A and B are shown apart, each in its own frame.
Chain A
Amino acid sequence: MNLTRRHFMVLLPAAAVAWESVLAGTPAAAPNYKLTDHWWGMLIDISKCIGCGNCVRACQTENDVPDGFFRTWVERYHVTDTNLERPQVISPDGGKGGFPIAAEDEGKYFFVPKLCNHCVDSPCTQVCPVGATFISPDGVVLVDQSYCLGCAYCVQACPYGCRYIHPEKHSADKCTLCYHRITKGLNTACCENCPTGARQLADLKDPNDPIHAFLKTHAVQVLKPQMATTPKVFYNQLDGSVR
């Protein structure tokens, strides 16, 4: 993203050493990352999503997401008449294996990738009894798995259904916006692997981030705006039938 190729070649030997610890997962403060310089969000362009499921698979690989639980998932909508209240929605295994082929009819189809919205006024962090889930200074809602009681109050409080209780760790789990990657200048696993650019990581505090120009020139939506959670995942071309 910010690193040029030449830059990287110079850094390669040093990077290789650092990568050892990165691959091993040992705690190390990422160099040159200042918490207060960033305010993370995401832009999802519905007109570009083809429902390939790459993001769901990549997330599972990157974050060891257990089967049957989803840090991100894709929904397919089929709106068949003017009644926006009753779309037909499917999400087979969260879209992990793609979607069945749809036959042409009078209705319209589209795909909606979903993940934690990293809300600024998140109801999930409000209800946590001990402070195990919180929004970081750089805008990512995270779970401290060594402090979480596993009471599932946050799971109940999330309007978007993005949380679950990890079956082995017995603590709350959800999308971390690949915090371990973005703090090292890498892209999130889902955005990296999206073949159409439907998902794009955005740093709202970076004046050069393309999201600012996009927000100025497009009509964007968020999920469930009536919940007033101030989500930071913005959708382009989100149909009114989306729940």
Chain B
Amino acid sequence: MSDQQLILVVDDDTDLVEALAMKLESENFAVAKAYDGVEGFDKIKERRPALVILDVMMPRKDGYQLCDELKNDAGYKDIPIILLTAVAEAVNSTNYTHMGGKTTLADDYVPKPIDLDKLMEIVRDNL
């Protein structure tokens, strides 16, 4: 266990968290889980992960807000963050665009529905 890298998965879709955890564990990562941005930050303070997989649309504290907080904190800014972006072209909102996502300091982005093999590639590239 001590030589396993810890990945934190933060998403309010509990089934997706479970599926991602199973995939990561099969690739010999240790996994921590959180279900919104507030819990996510608590988990990071509890045990520093090697990388965070972070959903955007979550209740209480969304992924953009958590990403901003981490990247503007000297103690956590070096933790790689991969954003999961689910809001697609079908959403008619002038307030949201993928550009909004790209103005964050996240290290990479993965669109939903997630290609798990692609996600694993991105995880390894960012560790």
Indicate, yes or no, whether A interacts with B.
Answer: no
- B residues contacting A by CB (< 8 A) are none
- A residues contacting B by CB (< 8 A) are none
